[in-house]
Structure 1
Amino acid sequence: MNFSELFKVTSRQCSFSPDGQYLACVNQYRLIIRSSTTLEIINLFACIDTIDTIEWSYDSRLILAGLIKRNAVQIFSLDNPEWKCKIDEGSAGLCQVHWAPDSRHILTTAQFHLRITVWSLTSKNVSYIKYPKKLSPNSYVFSLLKPYMALVERRNDSTDHISIFDYSSNWSMIAHFQPNDLEDLQGIEWSPIADVLCLWENSYEYKIVFYTLDGQLLNIYKPENDRLSLGIRCARWSPTGQVIVVGDYEERITVFSYLTYKKIQTSFEPPQKLSSGKGYTILKEEEYNLNSQEKNDQSQRKPYSSSAYSSSAVSQIETNVSIDSKYIIYNGTLQIAPIKPDLDRANPRLGVSSIEYSSSGRYLSTINDTMPNLLFIFDFKPTFHLAFVLIQIQPIRCVKWEPKRDHLALCTHNNRIYIWTPQGASCINLPDESSKHKIDEIKWNNFATLPSIALIGQETMCVGFIGS
């Protein structure tokens, strides 16, 4: 893997364009557009204040800069750099801003989620949508099949409703229903292959329901026993849409079928002890001193490294680096010591916080908040089972799958990038000149000819290029 020089970035604001041709970075009030391959500056846009968030349009021809403190949004064009547009929310305030999939409408959410405003860049018309409910990350989701948006509403009578809008027809409402089976809706996911919505209850009750767009209930699931069970933390449809995987606050993983919308098998619960004899591979990160050849080799332990991502070429240059790390296959039993959450505080850190699929949908990675150093990797073939457990020295900050291959990258707030593939895994150090760069977030380039990845810190970033 080859690395670029470090570039300055503000608040980790860095993003590849959807078509993979450009890389946008923020440096205070400046928006810098680079070529994703050569990293040469193509455009430089100046905003009226510090940029808080950026987002590419779906067609990669426009980019917005959200100035949350100014209650304003500025939009820039790559085809016509002289063209500029500014949106001002005024006294209503601004807390979120996103593109619609048609790349010609922008949705801004007012402070306290009082309303959503739809701004048309073509007709300059403005539309208002009332009653958006405050949800994380958003109160609305878009269909991948049709020009539809589903919005979760919280009406004045404290009831939740779902409204379906057609953004190709002047944002007209085409359907509306009330999910009577839920009292406090906390999440919504749209199936990638059907007009089906998955909804779930708040954290105090485990309940998940599936609805069609006209409000027909397909299935409702609650645990069979009468034991009180905490609710759902996150849910994700697979890329093929054949299953939806649900993670709850009690750290269980449950798989539902797209045919029956029912649970496929017994929920997976994380083991209290990791054992190499249970059918999964344990990969443990270990540090060693490069200057002395003492690598703390222990019996029944072997290096586990992928030649495709080998960092040996980099290591030959990094003669001044004294500490390196590698994955070893751990044979034996390890006791897991979960972090005890502070239940006296609001929103304690517990449960499954991350569910990510590989590009083919065969593999699935999950992270539990009480075990932030562990990454669980599941395999759907031949049946859903735990295949790998990665044990990191430091807590995992970010996990992302490569868009075209079943390869995974993760970072742990140090100067290393960790790569896992079904054939092997590697710990790759950044070069000496970037040794102080702490990686907090990673983003793959979706459509580059050769895989590349942005390694983003709080104030600096660089790009890693993976050879063929």
Structure 2
Amino acid sequence: MNFSDLFQHSNQLCKFSPNGRHVCSCSQCRVVIRDVATLQIVAIFTCLDPVQYIEWASDSVHVMCGMFKRGMVQVWSIENSEWFCKIDEGMAGVVACRWAPDARHILTMADFQLRVTLWSLTTKTVSFIKNPKNLHTNMDFSGDGRIMAMVERRDCKDYVNIFDCSIWKLWRQFSVDTKDCKELRWSPNNQVICLWDSPLEYNILIYSIDGQNLGSYSAYSNALGTKKVAWSPSSQFLAIGSYDEKVRIINHLTWKMIIEHKHPSTVTAKSAVVYVEVEKRLPRSQLVSESKYEAQEPPITLQVTKPDPDKPNPPIGIGVVLFSPDSRYLVTRSDNMPHAVWVWDMASISLVALLVHANPVKVVEWDPKQPRLAMCTGTNKLYMWSPAGCISVVVPVDSPFKVNNIHWHPNGKVLVLLGKTHYCLCTLDNE
């Protein structure tokens, strides 16, 4: 592994372009574009207010910056420094924004969810969509970018609006059997839409594009229900992480459960390889110099965080559910056992690896090209797992640097490691 120098950023805003050539970071009002290969600055843009959100367009040419405190969005081009766009909703404000797949339209949401505005960068036309729910969780584009599905809340009932993105016209609208839809997601094969209710209701619904209810699933009632849902890249499985510390796998043929993965505090599974992080500390110092994984035989007891009943959003339930890019593995993490990362084999339907860390795991991300995990715990180390084994690597920088977030490069050969105020790039070896 090779690590770059540290560069400044703010608000954890640092993203690779879709083509992987550039990395964009923000430091207050400044937007800095660097070449990933040389780390040389390609462009610098100055916004009118501190940036709170950035997103690349699919063409990797335009960068959108959201300044929600000012109710404004600015768009920049890395190919034409003289071109820029400013979107201002006026008194309505802007609380969210995102690109359309064609990289020529932008959607913004007004304050109090009054409307979604569609802005065209080519024709400079404006369209409005009334009664929307959340712009990021209750709206999704099909994988080919041809269709947009959006949840509309009207008369205390949820509706799904289907739009044709080629002409931006409403194609179909149908009601759904949710009480308060929390999220909507297309299947990776663009065949069906999955919706699920707020945590107060355990309710998973599957709809076809023409509004036909293909199936539904509910594991229990009268308790906190769904927390995380994830499609497998093959669209064959739907993984549901619940507040009862279980992950249930639904199949795409009958939309019924095929397996239930429990997350007990004492792990006895003989099929799993248990890796425990062991730290080595410097003498006369509390600073951690390095650590390594050591294999241990089950059974093993995990550290459990007891939720405080006086605080909102207690750390319980399955907070991470992610499939590997080949759909072979599923990684999970229980929020009340944050030190442990569970890796499940979808072929044998069993636990294959359990990674126990010295500190709570903050972020878990799959390599977009192969079954390889990257993890961070808010310390100066980067953790990785693959079917061949796992490693712990100290980030070799001069100043104190704690990794709080990570993002993979689209080719899976580079990682961006985000600290509180700085970031660096980690280039992986070919092997």
Instruction: With the length of structure 1 as denominator, give the TM-score of the two structures.
Output: 0.88
Please state how far the C-alpha of 1:48 moved relative to its aligned partner. 1.3
Please say which of residues 202-211 and 247-256 is displaced more in the overlay.
202-211
Matched residue, 1:285? 277
Is 1:457 the equivalent of 2:419? yes
Aligned residue type for 1:417:
L
- Counterpart of 1:51? 51
Once the two structures are TM-superposed, the CA of residue 184 in structure 1 deviates from its matched residue by 2.0
Q: Which residue of 2 aligns with 1:206?
A: 202
Equivalent in 158, 163, 173 of residue 156 of structure 2: 158
Alpha-carbon separation, structure 1, partners of 2:158 and 2:428:
47
Letter in 2 for 1:464: C
How far apart are 1:21 and its partner, in Å? 0.3
1:187 Cα offset (Å): 2.0
**Percent identity, aligned pairs only?**
38
Cα pair 1:233 1:351 within 8 Å, conserved: yes
Deviations 1:146-180 (A, max 9, x none): 5111111111x2111111111211x111111111x
Q: Kindly state the Cα deviation for residue 281 of structure 1 after the two structures are TM-superposed.
A: 1.1
CA-CA distance at 1:343 after TM superposition: 3.7
> Among residues 348, 351, 370, which one is paired with 1:386 in the alignment?
351
Matches for 1:55-134 after TM superposition, within 5 Å: 55-134=55-134
Deviation for aligned residue 1:231: 1.2
Deviation at 1:375, TM superposition (A): 0.6
Contact 2:145 2:165 in 1 (8 A): no
Q: What is the distance in 2 between the residues matched to 1:84 and 1:148?
A: 27
Quick check: 1:183 aligned with 2:179?
yes
| Conserved 8 A contact 1:363-1:378 | yes
| Distance in 1 (alpha carbons) for counterparts of 2:39 and 2:387 | 31
The whole-number CA distance in structure 2 between the counterparts of 1:413 and 1:175 is 46
Distance in 1 between residues matched to 2:356 and 2:302, nearest whole Å: 10
Q: CA deviation at 1:432?
A: 4.3
Query: Structure 1 residues 413, 322: CA separation in 2 closer, same or farther (over 3 Å shift)?
Result: closer
Q: 1:378 Cα shift?
A: 0.9
Q: Is 1:411 aligned with 2:353?
A: no
- CA apart distance, 1:388: 0.8
- Corresponding residue for 1:174? 171
Pair 1:374 & 2:337 matched: no
8 Å Cα contact 1:291-1:322 kept in structure 2: no
Contact 2:302 2:340 in 1 (8 A): no
User: Which among 240, 253, 258 is matched to residue 252 of structure 2?
Assistant: 258
- Name the CA distance, whole Å, in 1 between partners of 2:64 and 2:216: 39
Using the alignment, how far apart are the partners of 2:53 and 2:288 within structure 1? 38
Which residue is equivalent to 1:306?
A: none
Name the CA shift for 1:458/1:291 in 2 (closer, same or farther; >3 Å): closer
Aligned partners of 2:116 and 2:132 also within 8 Å: yes
1:222 and 1:75 map into 2 onto residues whose CA distance is 43
1:202 deviation in Å? 2.2
Render the CA deviation track for 1:340-366: whole Å, top value 9, x for unaligned: 223444332221111122121211111
Residue 322 of structure 1 and its aligned partner are, at CA, apart by 6.8
Partner SS for 2:343: strand
Higher percent of residues as strand: 2
SS at match of 2:69: helix
CA contact (8 A) 1:145 1:193 kept: no
Unaligned runs of 5+ in 2: none
Q: Provide the rounded CA distance (Å) in 2 between the counterparts of 1:39 and 1:108.
A: 32
Matched-pair contact (CA < 8 Å) for 2:12–2:420: yes
SS of residue paired to 1:106:
strand
CA distance in 2, matches of 1:346, 1:283: 32
Structure 1 counterpart SS, 2:112? helix
Distance 1:371 1:59 in 2: 40
Total equivalences in the alignment: 428
TM-score normalised to the size of structure 2?
Answer: 0.95
Aligned to 1:447: 411
Partner of 2:142: 143
CA offsets, 1:21-54, max 9 Å, x none? Answer: 0011111111111001111101111111211111
1:10, CA displacement in angstroms?
1.0
RMSD: 1.8
d(CA) in 1 for partners of 2:81, 2:349: 50
Please say if 1:230 is aligned against 2:239. Answer: no
2-side partners of 1:34 and 1:414: how far apart?
Answer: 26
- Distance in structure 2 (CA, Å) of the matches to 1:337 and 1:228: 28
Correspondence for 1:466: 428
Closer/same/farther in 2, CA of residues 113 and 349 from structure 1, 3 Å limit: farther
The higher-RCO structure (CA 8 Å, 6+ apart) is: 1
Q: In structure 1, give the amino acid aligned to 2:163.
A: F
Unaligned 5+ residue runs, structure 1? 293-320
Once the two structures are superposed, residues 317-338 of structure 1 have per-residue CA deviations (whole angstroms, 9 ceiling, x without a partner) of xxxx972100000124222342
Question: Counterpart of 1:298?
Answer: none
